[in-house]
Amino acid sequence: MFSNILIGLTVIVCLAIIILALLQGGKSEGIISALTGQSSNLFANQKERGSEVWISRITMGLGIALFVLLIMQQIG
């Protein structure tokens, strides 16, 4: 019973991580311009603002929660 709850929570957390990762803004344009030689501010100090900060923090929290859930599944 307990393992079924952990598996269900793991699936929910995984789906939430996938959705939040898709919502995050792309950061690949800096890498492409650096490789092609265009003017690039790849190493500029760019901060996330507004909703990007919250999405990033929630994704990190869900990643930690996923790690804990998977360890609990292995132990239990």
Tens digit of pLDDT for each residue in 40-68? 555 555 666 788 889 989 999 999 999 99
Rounded Cα distance between 3 and 74, Å, is: 10
| CB 62 within 8 Å of CB 70 | no
- Asked if the model's pLDDT at residue 30 lies above 60, the reply is no
Predicted model pTM: 0.70
Domain locations in the chain?
2-41+49-75
> Is residue 28 pLDDT above 80, yes or no?
no
Residue 7: pLDDT band by 50, 70, 90 thresholds?
A: very high
Percent of the residues in the chain that have a pLDDT greater than 70, as a whole number: 70
φ, ψ of residue 34 to 5 degrees: the values are: -70, -35
